[in-house]
Amino acid sequence: MRKIIKRSIAFFLIITLVFIPLATTAVAADQTQDEEVGAGAMTVDLLFVRPVGIIAVVFGTAVFILSLPFSALGGNAGSAAKQLVAAPASFTFKRKLGHFDELKRGGY
C-alpha cells in the first residue's frame, strides 16, 4: 500500500514540475499590452515613483563614486556605472509617464 502511495506522489510531483512552466507560459501569452495609460497611473508615477527614482539616481551615484576605486581595480567600472547610475537615470528620466511595462520586463 505504501509503495502505491509513494509512486502516486512521485508521479504527481513529476507531472506538476513538467506542466507548471507550460502553464505560466500560456498565461503570459494571453496578457496583452495596453497602449492607453490612465490618469491614476500617471499621477502615481509623477508624485511617488519619479521622486523615488531621483533619490535612487543620487544614492546610486554616491555609491558608484565610493566604489569606483574598487571597481576600477576589478575592471568592472563600466558595469558598475551602468547598474548604479545609468539604469536608475533611464528609469527616472527616459520612461514615458505612467508606463511601467519596461519595469516588468526588466528593461532597465
All three cell numbers of 83: 547598474
Tell me how many degrees the CA angle 108-64-104 measures, rounded to the nearest 5: 15
The CA distance from 85 to 29, in Å, is 33
pTM over 0.75: no
Per-residue pLDDT, 19? 64
Per-residue pLDDT of 44-87, as tens digits, reads: 899 999 999 999 999 999 999 999 999 999 999 999 999 999 99
Residue 38 has pLDDT above 80, yes or no: yes
3-7: average pLDDT: 79
76-105: average pLDDT: 86
Contact call for residues 88 and 49 (beta carbons, < 8 A)? no
